[in-house]
Amino acid sequence: MTLTAIQALPYCLPLKVPFKTSKGPIHERKGWIIQLHTDGGLVGQGECAPLPGWSPDLWADYASLLPGFLDQLDLAALSGDTAQLSRALDDLTPGRPALRFALESALFDLAAQADDVPLARWLNPQAPLTVPVNAVLPLGEVQATVDLAHEWVRQGFRTLKLKVGGPESHAVVAAVREALGGAIKIRLDANGQWDRATAIREINAYEPYDIEYIEQPTPAHDLPALAEVRRRVGIPVAADESFTGPASAKILIETGAIDVLVMKPMINGGLLACQAAARMARDAGVQVVVTTTLDSVVGRLGAAHLAAGVASPELAQGLATGPWLTRDLAPDPALIKGGKLMLPDRPGLGIDPVPQP
């Protein structure tokens, strides 16, 4: 199989309503679909969509640099075995995890198509094609959040993730727990906004509400604070923004800072980096959750195939984010029913080449 061409299809997808977080609202997702073509007529796809305010790489940089990068890219550099490919991508995409995720997704999509297996089973032959997923509730007023929680539960979701940190967060969590009872799992996400003393106080105040875990209570860079918080609270602690790749995962695990490792392959350096970090986590008894960054169908599928292969099967994954988009680039072949995402039993990502938006 020889690569013959590469192209980037730009897109912009508005959200139905702003997705409110402690870092501010997200109004749209924009980026590029990277398509790799082969001499045999196969097309591999990946998504390059850094999320402003969250990703280390910037959308504006890609807007100016990506066309030239693709024009000068030696496609032969992307051939070879996985180890050779990883070294090539280290050279091609330093400091650009969104681009690495896109190129890896497209290349592995091609490899899985050539082997006639879904990408999840190309990554891990034992991977299931059904993955439990959670619904996400952004920061909001009490009644609006309770109403949204009821709607997600009516659709079959059994795990809800609530963003916290607003003035009504405690009232919201209490109201959601009272409205839904004890059968629904609730996890919280603080997006790194608290210092260690505030985090300990806030988390302990949430303990009566039977919280599955709380994600990123302290700033991403302050790993000692995260470790201290974990030692002093009764709710399991997860790292999200503190995880930037295998090196950070090693530190988080060795310092006893986390119970759960949350990974976003668009931000964390792609599929191979997340696979390596997940192996470390599993060996240390740390659970793994994979989430999206409100991506299009292509990026969501890449994250979902990864989740099937590496995530903790007993935990819901953060993959049910397509409904936040006003429209998508193509119909999503990964159906969600009863709180479970069903990956397509097709080779590769399982989606036909998306057209020019």
Which two structure tokens, joined as six digits, stand for 104? 């890896």
Among the listed residues 37, 40, 49, 57, the one whose alpha carbon sits nearest the alpha carbon of residue 107:
37
Q: In degrees rounded to 5, what are phi and psi of residue 197?
A: -65, -45
DSSP string, 128-197: -SEEEB-EEE-S--HHHHHHHHHHHHHTT--EEEEE--STTHHHHHHHHHHHH-TTSEEEEE-TT---HH
Edge to edge, the sheet with strand 340-342 lists 130-132, 340-342, 335-337
Question: Beta strands 24-38 and 43-48: pairing type?
Answer: antiparallel
User: How many helices (DSSP H) and strands (DSSP E) are in the chain?
Assistant: 11, 13
Residue with tokens 């727990």: 177
Q: In degrees rounded to 5, what are phi and psi of residue 110?
A: -60, -45
Of the candidates 30, 161, 185, 264, the residue annotated as catalytic is 264
Of the candidates 163, 185, 250, 337, the residue annotated as catalytic is 163
How many residues are there in the chain? 357
Catalytic annotation on 264? yes
CB 109 within 8 A of CB 301: no
Catalytic annotation on 163? yes
CA gap 244, 56 in Å, rounded: 9
Buried residues in 148-166 as b, exposed as e (16+ CB within 10 A): bbeebbeeebbbbbbbbbb
Which two structure tokens, joined as six digits, stand for 237? 């602690």
CB 58 within 8 A of CB 66: no
CB 237 within 8 A of CB 259: yes
Residues with a catalytic annotation lie at 163, 264
